[in-house]
């Protein structure tokens, strides 16, 4: 299994942080997101915290639920650094 380098891990954490911020700004709970995705709330929480891997299909589903283009997450650095999430 290939080891993810530190920069990639940081980018993944930033993306997860950004997605969580968008979810919260929309007023969506983890319970709601999990229900719509057909998973347990505890599983969603683990994905959102990075404790378990977020699969591409799940990532795209989350982006769709949050009315986001998946490419929008590539701009997270400026949002996070400026405290805008």
Note the pTM of the prediction, 2 decimals.
Answer: 0.75
Cα distance between residue 50 and residue 70, in whole Å: 18
pLDDT given at position 9: 84
pLDDT, tens digit, for every residue of 28-53?
A: 999 999 999 999 999 999 999 999 99
Residue 65 lies in a domain: yes
Residue 69 lies in a domain: yes
CATH code for position 34: 1.10.260.40
In a domain, 84, yes or no: no
* Number of domains the chain is built from: 1
| Alpha-carbon torsion, ordered 50, 83, 62, 41, to 10 deg | 50
Structural domain harbouring 61: 9-74
> Which has more confidence, 9 or 52?
52
């Amino acid at each position: 299994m290939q080891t993810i380098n530190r920069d990639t891990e940081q980018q993944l954490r930033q993306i997860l942080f950004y997605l969580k911020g968008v979810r919260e700004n929309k007023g969506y709970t983890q319970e709601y997101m999990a229900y719509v995705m057909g998973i347990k709330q505890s599983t969603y929480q683990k994905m959102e915290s990075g404790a378990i891997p977020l699969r591409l299909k799940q990532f795209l589903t989350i982006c769709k639920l949050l009315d986001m283009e998946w490419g929008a997450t590539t701009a997270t650095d400026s949002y996070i650094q400026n405290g805008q999430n």
